[in-house]
């Protein structure tokens, strides 16, 4: 499809959907087809994005045209028992509309796929999915509430980045928090959430969370899809003297196959996760303390010991079993050699932290603080074996796909954030409404880091600390119908960041049209923050109708 025809088609679809949503909004909001005890709500949304940079796909191609229908049901069974459920289905039409983009990812599931998936229709893939997203009972007794079922449990205070909001993993396959709200990208888990309120002047609230068996890691886009994190971090491997010519997508697929193999084996292990949070108010101070025991939502990687021995034997002429023919075998095995040689783990970690909000009278701001101390955070470590390093130089001269050691390492990590929220009048720009300004400063430290430890911080991904800042500014015009917003984030350690600008028009309470763009900037081979996505700049148009 030619680019001009594609753009025309996109514009016509967006205009048509907007008109339909405006007409549909005339329906009476208070009507309920199923009676007073059952309420159905939800939304219909079209997200259309257009790439601005060459990367995993060319510029001016669709990054997505995702059409989403979400239906939320709430049923009152008795005065003390209620049931909620959410079903979400989407279809990404970009693969059908633009035949010049990579086609293979539309049939691939998100990475890693795992197995505990409540799919309602067909197989999970990047083109379409229907998911029983949430389902839980709520039991009320006195000052206590018990929620049992698949749900989101939100503890965090920070925007864009998470520290205490660590219970649910994230699905970043369609841009994650760069382009969507956290509520839409959290992956619900089958959990038990008990909250007990102590009625007194301090409003104590005790919350206990238990996840007996439902472990899910963070998920990303499949290789070759837009927002593919492997595109910028997985190299083509070409070694003419060994006859090796491995495409980066084949290498990434081998890594993913190995990850899913280990995740499926891992599903039979102990998955219990749980924690406790105590929240209270002392005067103007609203704070919480929490402890959470969980599995790491990001995998660490190790090299198979037999593979290390094989590489050493094949590479070292002084070895009694030196055999150059094994190198030819590696070439013949293709990228599967890499997958067979690696193993992935999701070890247990402990998280201790606190949050608080307090008004600051001098400037009229709300000061926010959040911190989390993680005990035994696992990290992948580069192999110290000189023979493995030698094979590394042969298979991957770029150094991007570094072979790990035969064991991962654990270290403690401290992350903290201090920020402010402040309504501010800027009469030159808006005489009627204030601007909401929210700024945050993040700091992360990895204690006792060693050389070669992949912390994911800094440009190369080996830094021991990270400093980031974010700034959010928005306001309202024309009685709240027009809302412009600007969001910026900068990682001082990695020298990279993002800028996102949107303007939302809400002609009615239920319908909205948002036009915006996101720009991500980082040096080549940057590992942290936006590094893997630095070529995914886009402009987007979102149409949404809530019913």
Per residue in 221-279, pLDDT (tens digit) is: 998 999 998 887 777 777 776 677 888 888 888 888 889 888 887 765 678 999 999 99
Least confident of 45-59, 202-216, 249-263: 249-263
Confidence band for 525, pLDDT divided at 50, 70 and 90: confident
Confidence band for 450, pLDDT divided at 50, 70 and 90: very high
Residues 365-419 pLDDT 10s: 999 999 999 999 999 999 887 666 666 665 655 555 678 888 999 999 999 999 9
Ranked by mean pLDDT, which of 98-112, 121-135, 506-520 comes out on top? 506-520
Quote the pLDDT of residue 122: 64
Quote the pLDDT of residue 510: 95
Single out the residue of 259, 272, 264 nearest to residue 223, CA to CA: 259
Answer yes or no: is pLDDT of 1 > 50: no
Among residues of the chain, what percentage have pLDDT more than 90?
59
Residue ranges of the domains in the chain? 3-546
Residues 319-373 pLDDT 10s: 655 556 666 667 777 788 778 888 999 999 999 999 999 998 888 899 999 999 9
Answer yes or no: is pLDDT of 23 > 80: no
The token pair at 329 is 């075998």
Say how far apart CA 178 and CA 172 lie, in whole Å.
9
- For residue 5, give the DSSP letter: H
Class of domain 3-546 (CATH, top level)? mainly beta
Per-residue b or e along 272-309, where b marks 16 or more CB atoms closer than 10 Å to that residue's CB:
ebbbebebbeeeeebbbebebebbbbebbbbbeeebbb
């Amino acid at each position: 499809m030619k680019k001009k025809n594609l753009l025309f088609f996109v514009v016509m679809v967006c205009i048509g959907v907007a008109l339909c949503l405006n007409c549909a909004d005339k329906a009476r909001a208070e009507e309920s087809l199923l009676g007073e005890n059952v309420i159905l709500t939800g939304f219909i949304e079209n997200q259309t994005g257009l790439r601005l940079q060459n990367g995993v796909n060319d510029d001016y191609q669709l990054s997505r045209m995702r059409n989403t229908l979400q239906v939320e049901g709430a049923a009152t069974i008795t005065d003390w028992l209620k049931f909620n459920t959410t079903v979400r289905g989407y279809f990404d039409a970009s693969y059908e509309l633009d035949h010049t983009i990579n086609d293979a990812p539309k049939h691939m599931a998100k990475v890693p796929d795992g197995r505990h998936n409540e799919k309602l229709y067909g197989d999970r893939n990047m083109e379409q999915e229907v998911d029983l997203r949430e389902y839980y009972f709520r039991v009320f007794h006195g000052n206590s509430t018990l929620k049992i079922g698949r749900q989101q449990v939100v503890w965090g205070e920070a925007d864009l980045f998470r520290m205490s909001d660590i219970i649910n993993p994230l699905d970043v396959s369609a841009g994650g928090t760069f382009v969507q709200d956290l509520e839409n990208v959290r992956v619900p888990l089958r959990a038990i959430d008990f909250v007990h309120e102590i009625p007194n002047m301090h409003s104590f609230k005790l919350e206990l969370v238990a996840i007996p068996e439902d472990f899910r890691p963070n998920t990303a886009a499949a290789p070759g899809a837009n927002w593919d994190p492997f595109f910028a971090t997985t190299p083509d491997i070409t070694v003419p003297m060994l006859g090796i010519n491995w495409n980066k997508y084949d290498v990434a697929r081998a890594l993913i196959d190995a990850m899913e193999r280990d995740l499926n084996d891992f599903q039979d292990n102990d998955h219990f996760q749980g924690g406790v949070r105590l929240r209270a108010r002392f005067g103007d101070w609203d704070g919480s303390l929490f402890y959470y025991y969980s599995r790491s939502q990001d995998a660490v990687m190790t090299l198979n010991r037999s593979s290390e021995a094989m590489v050493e034997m094949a590479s070292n002429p002084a070895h009694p079993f030196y055999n150059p023919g094994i190198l030819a075998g590696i070439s013949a095995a293709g990228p599967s050699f890499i997958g067979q040689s690696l193993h992935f783990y999701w070890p247990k970690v402990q998280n201790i932290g606190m949050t608080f909000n307090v008004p600051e009278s001098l400037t009229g701001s709300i000061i926010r603080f959040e911190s989390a101390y993680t005990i035994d955070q696992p990290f992948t470590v580069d192999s110290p074996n000189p023979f493995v390093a030698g094979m590394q130089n042969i298979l991957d001269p770029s150094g991007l796909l570094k072979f790990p050691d035969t064991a991962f390492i654990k270290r403690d990590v401290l992350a903290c954030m201090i920020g402010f929220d402040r309504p501010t009048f800027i009469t030159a720009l808006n005489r009627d409404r204030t601007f909401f300004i929210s700024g945050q400063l993040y700091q992360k430290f990895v204690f006792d880091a060693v050389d070669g430890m992949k912390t994911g911080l800094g440009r190369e991904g080996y830094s021991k600390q990270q400093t980031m800042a974010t700034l959010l500014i928005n306001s309202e015009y024309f009685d709240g119908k027009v809302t412009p917003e600007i969001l910026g984030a900068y990682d001082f350690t990695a020298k990279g960041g993002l800028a996102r600008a949107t303007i939302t028009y809400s002609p009615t309470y239920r319908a909205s049209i948002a036009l915006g763009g996101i720009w991500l900037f980082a040096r080549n081979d940057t590992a942290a923050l936006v590094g893997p996505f630095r070529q995914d700049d886009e402009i987007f148009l979102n149409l949404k109708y809530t019913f």
